[in-house]
Each structure stands twice: as structure tokens, then as C-alpha cells.
Amino acid sequence: MCSGRVDLSFVLRAFSNGMDGVFIGGCRLKECNYITHGNYHALNMVLLGKKILEHIGLNPERLRIEFMSGGEGILFADVINDFGRKVKELGPLGKSEGIDKNELKSKIQEVAKLTPYIKIVKREKLESRLENKAEYDGLFTREEVDRLFREVISYHIDPEKCQACMICLKKCPVEAIAGGKNRIHVIDQEKCIKCGTCFDACPPRFGAVKTISGEPVPPPLPEAERTIIRKSKEKGAS
């Protein structure tokens, strides 16, 4: 499997399941067997992942990536042994960092839920092709990642503009939108992964989906107030 297919969510899931370290091995840069050069993406993902680990409070050395060819068995063994020794020195996940096990799991799961959002926001950098290691440290900064999580964009459906067309509801990849025919739609903020699909899907003539950053999302409209009474029906009733 190409190392470019190793998603950030896979790494976070491993740590969430209690793995003390995650190692990713890929083909040498510029020696991709395909036209995708996915190993560059894997490298950028790991560089971002290390900063995310720091944000959570974990030692970034628990995540490592190395590039080598399939014929370099001795090098592979040396690298794996070295990484194993390092992880052993670091100790159990979270313990040496002084983070409670349940608190750590909660932090990792919160970040993992935002993976689609992170990949969208940092798409340009994740597509970079770094040519030398001197560039690695500067691709992502701790301050940048802290700000990323501090200024997470939330999506809210304006009840005054929603036409209950169900387009966003049907396209939401995690079924985080509640609604139906003639029912004003509401986004469940706990389920929402901040992917922006609803924002893109909402017809421009409605413009009902709004982005919110740096302030709380308005409370959802009460269930009893979500029914839309169409003007034609009002006339019929009279």
C-alpha cells in the first residue's frame, strides 16, 4: 500500500486505542512507483501530526516516518529497533506526559473528529513537496496548529433562510443534519465534522448555511418551531 494512503485519522485512531508509538515506512522520496508521489503527502501528514501531538500534550517523537527501498532490509531493521527503543524510553502513552488516560482519549477523539476539517484548511501545505529536511520544521508551527483548533469554523443553518430543501441534509457525510420536508434543518454540533459539505451544498439563492468562528453557535430552534408554513397552504386554510 502506498504510504500516501495513510490518513491522519488512522494515526489518531492508533493513539486513541492506546498505542505508545506509530511508525510509517514509505518508498524513498522521488522514487514513487506511481505517478502520485504519495510519500510526500505522508511526510506532510506526519509533520502536521507531530504538531497535533504537541497540541494535545504528547511527545511528538511517538510518531515517526522513514523512507527506504524494499531491498534495504538491514536499514529497516535498524530503524525499527531504534524507534522501538525510543518508544520504550518514552514509556506508556500519556503516563510520562502526565495526562490522565481518559482525558487523553477524549482529547484525541475530539481532534480525530476534526480530521476532515483539518485536511481542508491545510490542503495547500499537505500538498507540498519538501525537498530537504531543513524545510520540515517550518512547514507547520505549534502556534499555527494551536490557532487552528482555537479558531475552528462551525456551521449553522439560519432558520430565517432555510427552505427545507433537504439538499444539505442528504449530502451530509455523517448525518449530522436533522430535518425533513417543510422542516427547518438543524445541525447537530456534536456530530458535525466541520467538513463544509452543507455550506457548499446550500443553493446560493437561499444562503442559509453560515460559518461561525470565535463565538458560540446559536442554540438550535426548538422542535415545535421548525415547521415551515408555505404561503399557498396558508391561503388554502383561509
Domain ranges of the chain: 3-150, 154-237
173's CB contacts (< 8 A; 6+ apart) are 116, 193, 195, 197
Does CATH place domain 154-237 in 3.30.70.20? yes
pLDDT tens digits along 113-172? 999 999 999 999 999 999 889 999 999 999 999 999 999 999 999 999 999 999 999 999
Query: What is the reported pTM?
Result: 0.83
CA-based nearest residue to 43, from 1, 77, 3? 3
Instruction: State the pLDDT at residue 92.
Output: 96
CA-based nearest residue to 3, from 47, 49, 38, 35? 38
Instruction: State the pLDDT at residue 238.
Output: 47
Residues of the chain with pLDDT under 70: 232-238
232's CB contacts (< 8 A; 6+ apart) are none
User: Measured between alpha carbons, how far is residue 164 from residues 57, 191, 193 in Å?
Assistant: 43, 20, 21
- Distance (Å, rounded) from C-alpha 211 to C-alpha 217? 9
Strands 63-67 and 22-26, how do they pair? parallel
Instruction: State the pLDDT at residue 179.
Output: 94
